[in-house]
Chains A and B, each alone.
Chain A
Amino acid sequence: MTGASFLRILKGAASAAVVALSLTACSLPGSGPGEREAWLEANDPFEPLNRAIFGINEAADFLVIGPAAYAYNAIVPDPVRESVRSFTANLLSPITIVNQLLQGDFDGAIHATGRFLTNTVLGAGGIADVAAAAGIPDQKEDFGQTLAVWGFNEGPYVVLPFLGPSSMRDATGYAVDTLADPVRMWAANTDHEGAYMAKGIAGGIDRRSRVLKEVEDLRRNSVDYYATLRSLYRQQRKADIEEKAAVAQPDFPAFEKTPEAPAKKK
């Protein structure tokens, strides 16, 4: 067998696998009443695949990330956690500034640049958020938000391995932000990939440690945790993008008559 024909067979097998995978990984609308609308509303054509990745993420959270976040919260004193938070947030400032410029938000960019310089110089490289203490709050902008400002729809829902809920648009934005991140470039060019990874992991555990109670509450109180997170993610992104100024209100029609629940048995 020549190398070329072997490659051709391999390519054929690979594309067959991709087709098979995408067929099984796509959900299709049912034929019942209103099922098509429900399918469109969920905007989650990759649901089976997403749920599989979600399951893996949940397992990772149960086994490693959650316990690490609890331990981090219990062992590391408040001021140190605060410093980790400020330091990792400060390193994200260049991404925010670039995105504010791309969105045409020059005031925001000036604001964020002032914050970045203040914290880097006066806050000892960002470990103290002196700008927030001086009344300049932190605001994050990412390329997913920039794409939204440019008029791109969020696209289908996707669950990213370890990173969790996202959308086609936001996942693209995340990839662009990561590639353009000056901290990552510096790490790649100076052989500091380990430090960059450590920063990412520390940031992740810190973020998780800030929502311990919330995650517990959602897990306990939802009947479909996956669908709850999907809805929460979308609404939160929408609120961030619209900066809470004019979040479209859902429609609350008047119903003719709603039956009362039967009296509770004692």
Chain B
Amino acid sequence: MFDRTLTGRRALLKSVAGFAAAATLPLIARTALAQDPGASAFIQKLGDRAIKTFSDKGTKAAAKEKFRALLVEGFDIPYIGRWVLGRYWNVANDAQRQEYMALFERMIVDAYAGRFAEYSGETFKITGARPEGDADSTVTTQIVRPSGPPINVDWRVRKAGATYKIIDVAVEGVSMGVTQRSEFASVIQTNGGQFDGLLKVLRAKVAG
């Protein structure tokens, strides 16, 4: 009786150990994936280059052009542009799509160039990375400011072949893509579901 209990317990222990091993396996695989250094290295390099661009005291136009190149290289702007349109992508025809993409890129570059013109000594550090599905990783960073608490910024990075591109940025849990998508949807809605309504607004924005 006693013996049986003991064996029973041993069997139980063994199965627990086996279960634990089975449970840790995917965990190990996940950690290995998370430690895929490519995405983090990409963000580190891009960030370093961005900071160098901002601290160079050249002409405003030259800095903007440099920054534009960096943005186009680091971000998958065509993907983001399409993603933020959501279902309205299907509403637009080819000519509208093309015009939209050109306007979207200019708007993004203008917005970010303006933002980084106010750069005043912020630095960043990578705090971690986790895999998202098959091709993506989220690289988590902290922007350290000269004053005030640090800001958590998460970069969603997609790998295509040997290159990495950013497809979304989340600041303190707020996704830029999600925000832009609801904004564009609202513009199209207030224009009676007409895609041209959005184009009109974007044209005015880019020109202004």
Name A residues whose Cβ lies closer than 8 Å to a Cβ of B.
30, 32-35, 37-39, 41-42, 213, 217, 220-224, 226-228, 230-232, 235-236, 238-240, 244, 247, 249-250, 252, 254-255, 258-262, 264
A226 to B198, CA, bound (A): 15
B193 to A227, Cβ gap below 8 A? no
Known: A227-B183, A228-B179. 12 other contacts (CB 8 A): A35-B189, A38-B185, A42-B189, A217-B114, A220-B114, A228-B183, A249-B132, A249-B156, A252-B132, A252-B167, A258-B79, A260-B101
What band does the interface of chain B fall in when counting residues whose beta carbon is under 8 Å from A?
35 or more
A261 to B101, Cβ gap below 8 A? yes
Main secondary structure of the interface of B (DSSP, over half): helix
A-B contact count (CB 8 A): 123
A235 to B179, Cβ gap below 8 A? yes
28 residue pairs of the A-B complex, CB under 8 angstroms, read A33-B193, A38-B185, A217-B114, A217-B115, A222-B183, A223-B198, A223-B202, A224-B186, A224-B187, A226-B186, A227-B183, A227-B187, A228-B179, A235-B175, A236-B174, A240-B173, A244-B172, A244-B173, A247-B173, A249-B156, A252-B83, A252-B167, A258-B81, A259-B78, A259-B101, A260-B78, A261-B98, A264-B106
Cβ of B201: which chain A residues have Cβ within 8 Å of it? 223-224
B98 to A250, Cβ gap below 8 A? no
B183 to A261, Cβ gap below 8 A? no
Q: Which of A41, A217, A259 contacts B98 (CB 8 A)?
A: A259
A255 to B84, CA, bound (A): 12
Asked if B3 CB lies within 8 Å of chain A CBs, one says: no
Q: Which of A33, A223, A235, A254 contacts B178 (CB 8 A)?
A: A235
A266 to B110, CA, bound (A): 16
Closest CB in chain A relative to B15 CB, distance in Å? 30
Task: Report B20-35 CB contacts with A as 1/0, cut-off 8 Å.
Answer: 0000000000000000
Cβ of B174: which chain A residues have Cβ within 8 Å of it? 232, 235-236, 239
Name B residues whose Cβ lies closer than 8 Å to a Cβ of A.
77-79, 81-83, 87-88, 91, 94, 97-98, 101-102, 104-106, 110-111, 114-115, 118, 132, 135-136, 138, 152, 156, 158, 167-168, 172-175, 177-179, 182-190, 192-193, 198, 201-202, 205
Cβ of A30: which chain B residues have Cβ within 8 Å of it? 189, 192-193
A164 to B186, CA, bound (A): 19
Greatest chain B CB density within 10 A among A33, A34, A224, A226 is at: A224
A38 to B102, Cβ gap below 8 A? no
Cβ of A254: which chain B residues have Cβ within 8 Å of it? 135
When C-beta atoms are compared, the residue in chain B nearest to A231 turns out to be B182
A42 to B98, Cβ gap below 8 A? no
Q: Which of B77, B136, B202 contacts A252 (CB 8 A)?
A: B136
Closest CB in chain A relative to B167 CB, distance in Å? 6
A264 to B104, CA, bound (A): 12
A240 to B78, CA, bound (A): 31
A261 to B102, Cβ gap below 8 A? yes
Cβ of B97: which chain A residues have Cβ within 8 Å of it? 259
A30 to B190, CA, bound (A): 10
Cβ of A221: which chain B residues have Cβ within 8 Å of it? 110-111, 114
A221 to B208, CA, bound (A): 11
A261 to B189, Cβ gap below 8 A? no
Closest 5 CB pairs of A and B: A239-B173, A227-B186, A32-B193, A261-B101, A231-B182
A42 to B182, Cβ gap below 8 A? yes
When C-beta atoms are compared, the residue in chain B nearest to A236 turns out to be B174
Greatest chain B CB density within 10 A among A227, A239, A250, A255 is at: A227
B177 to A32, Cβ gap below 8 A? no
A222 to B184, CA, bound (A): 10
When C-beta atoms are compared, the residue in chain B nearest to A35 turns out to be B193
When C-beta atoms are compared, the residue in chain A nearest to B136 turns out to be A252
Cβ of B81: which chain A residues have Cβ within 8 Å of it? 258, 261
A72 to B136, CA, bound (A): 45
A239 to B138, CA, bound (A): 16
Closest CB in chain B relative to A34 CB, distance in Å? 5
When C-beta atoms are compared, the residue in chain B nearest to A233 turns out to be B174
A13 to B27, CA, bound (A): 67
B168 to A252, Cβ gap below 8 A? yes
Cβ of B190: which chain A residues have Cβ within 8 Å of it? 224
When C-beta atoms are compared, the residue in chain A nearest to B201 turns out to be A223
Closest CB in chain A relative to B169 CB, distance in Å? 12
Cβ of A33: which chain B residues have Cβ within 8 Å of it? 91, 193
